[in-house]
Structure 1
Amino acid sequence: MSNIEKLQRTHTFPTIRVQVPADGSAHWLYMHADAGPGTRPCCRSEVIDDIWGYMASITLREAQRNQGRLRHLVLASDASAFNLGGDLDLFAQLIRAGDRERLLGYARRCIDGVHHLHTGLGGDVHTIALVQGDALGGGLEMALACHTIVAEEGVGMGLPEVLFGLFPGMGAYSFLCKRVSPRQAEKMILGGEVYSSEEMYRMGVVDVLVPKGQGESAVQEMIRQQQRIPHSYLAMNQVRRIGQPVSYDELMGITEVWVDTALALGDKSLKTMERIVRAQTRRSASEAA
């Protein structure tokens, strides 16, 4: 943990906190740095914009990359939850208004980011999700987009969108099918169950499971190990894109199905969304108190 304390901090983006070592080899990005009473740790538009904006700022053009230099991006959270998923409050508003353009714009913005995570910010970055609190819906999709998922014990992880008649449409199916069978992926999506991180590890969704409080040190050690053989991990980024591709067009095609499904939801489903929003808000206020 002492290494983390020595990291230089950047405060460019208000909803995230970033720590970077002096050599720039790793970027620790903590979501929900603005967490407070009533602030839901979910994929609010401003959070998405800050995460993707920071990722764009550290993405190097091919001519800028040093041959054999591997970098890391660690996606974590300052809130008690990793991320509780899409902005259901916004979804309900846009669906009631029949605003397909804005709903598709939000979805496209999400796809832009998860695809960038999945492709390693152009190829020279190994992306790691550090899950120390619940990862649900779109929050889990962000983790699934990363090359490696490190989770602490006792964390809830799941895709509960079926509770309000929807499905996770920003990469869950595509990324899950790289970790479990398509049949198992469909079962997880249609069942809406929230699994423990221990169960997710046994299924092969979580790559590394560690005791509570040991997530950061486990990721630090992983980064040290990978930096010993950077050429291998850089090559694996290329191999993965060839042998296990998830194309942008695939992700966009699925998210358009998501948008059209969302716009067809009735009042009962929208009221369920709004109840979940109120529950998330109460949870945030309670934890802040």
Structure 2
Amino acid sequence: MNNVEKLQRTRQLPTIRVESEPSGDAHWMYMHSNAAPGVRPCFHSQMLDDVLGFMNSITLRDSQRECGKLRHLVVASDAAAFNLGGDLELFSRLIRDNNRDQLLSYARRCIDGVYHLNTGLGGDVRTIALIQGDALGGGLEIALSCHTIVAEEGVQMGLPEALFGLFPGMGAYSFLCKRISPQLAEKIILEGSLYSSEEMHRMGVVDVLVPKGQGAAAVQSLIDRQRRAPHAHLALNACRNLAQPVGYNELMGITEIWVDTALALGDKSLKMMERIVRAQEKRASCRVA
């Protein structure tokens, strides 16, 4: 039975599309569903709310979890890009208005999302990022928060926030340091360079690299293999959260530094941010056309 036959139930939210197995054991969440021409494939507030809302809806209480039952959540995209990161247009406006409360509120919702993914939605879920298009900034951060990153060849990945004097403040440093050395993590963050998925695989950031067009099949194969040893993978979730924890307080402390750093940016940095927004809009219009 192929993946299309298994995923029979589809839920449509304003900005995401979800396909689920009838059993509820696996969900494929596609960001940027039905994006209008010119809409940037980034974390607009509505999509952030939809992603958080869906993840909360499939999170089970302790009393609901079945012993030995392993579930999966795949984070993917309907757009040509996986995700281009945070809403730079919103950031620029809030920084110019010196609106710390709203900037922190946005950042806190991002932290809620990546923390939930990283801890396996309470422990019984293995999370997988399927990257079939460019993953930049916050887009790479959500992928890094997942247990496994599956990427197709030929896509770009990176943390370009240094271009406008900022740093990725929603988990990048914490999650990267669980995959690579802190020195290499700092180099990636401070240089702001873009890397191919092949380079990220060689560095150890990407777990599984496959040819273009084979990402979904690779993810399904991974899910099938993990299901053959559910107790082991559930135990690994628990071990991971003990041996390599990324705590909520750590993530929030870093994102508060991000907020204060963002509010200190000058006009030159904000103009660069706004130029990137225009470039993203142009790119989105061309891809849709």
TM-score with structure 2 setting the length: 0.99
Q: 1:76 aligns to what?
A: 76
1:132 aligns with 2:132: yes
Q: 1:239 aligns to what?
A: 239
Q: 1:208 aligns to what?
A: 208
Q: Which amino acid aligns with 2:65?
A: R
The Cα shift of 1:6 comes to: 4.5
Structure 1 distance, partners of 2:5, 2:224, is 17
Identity over the aligned pairs, expressed in percent? 71
* Offset from partner CA, 1:71-118 (integer Å, 9 cap, x none): 000000000000000000000000000000000000000000000000
Structure 1: which 5+ runs fail to align? Answer: none
1:150 aligns with 2:164: no
Mean Cα displacement is larger for which, 210-219 or 9-18?
9-18
SS class of match (1:19): strand
Matches within 5 A, 1:188-199: 188-199=188-199
Structure 1 distance, partners of 2:142, 2:9, is 23
Q: Which amino acid aligns with 2:152?
A: E
Q: Which amino acid aligns with 1:63?
A: S
Structure 2 distance, partners of 1:3, 1:149, is 18
Q: Which amino acid aligns with 1:75?
A: V
SS class of match (1:11): strand
Q: 2:169 aligns to what?
A: 169
The Cα shift of 1:12 comes to: 4.3
TM-score with structure 1 setting the length: 0.99
Q: 2:115 aligns to what?
A: 115
1:285 aligns with 2:285: yes
Structure 2: which 5+ runs fail to align? Answer: none
* Offset from partner CA, 1:213-256 (integer Å, 9 cap, x none): 00000000000000000000000000001000000000000000
SS class of match (1:18): strand
Structure 1 distance, partners of 2:26, 2:192, is 34
2:7 and 2:21 in contact (8 A); partners too: yes
Q: 1:67 aligns to what?
A: 67
Structure 1 distance, partners of 2:5, 2:156, is 28
Structure 2 distance, partners of 1:117, 1:271, is 33
2:11 and 2:19 in contact (8 A); partners too: no
Q: Which amino acid aligns with 1:130?
A: L
SS class of match (1:110): helix
The Cα shift of 1:3 comes to: 2.3
Q: Which amino acid aligns with 1:275?
A: R
Q: Which amino acid aligns with 2:198?
A: E
Structure 2 distance, partners of 1:121, 1:7, is 20
Q: 1:50 aligns to what?
A: 50
The Cα shift of 1:9 comes to: 3.4
Q: Which amino acid aligns with 1:26?
A: A
Q: 1:269 aligns to what?
A: 269
Q: Which amino acid aligns with 2:15?
A: T
Q: Which amino acid aligns with 2:182?
A: P
Mean Cα displacement is larger for which, 132-141 or 32-41?
32-41
The Cα shift of 1:46 comes to: 0.6
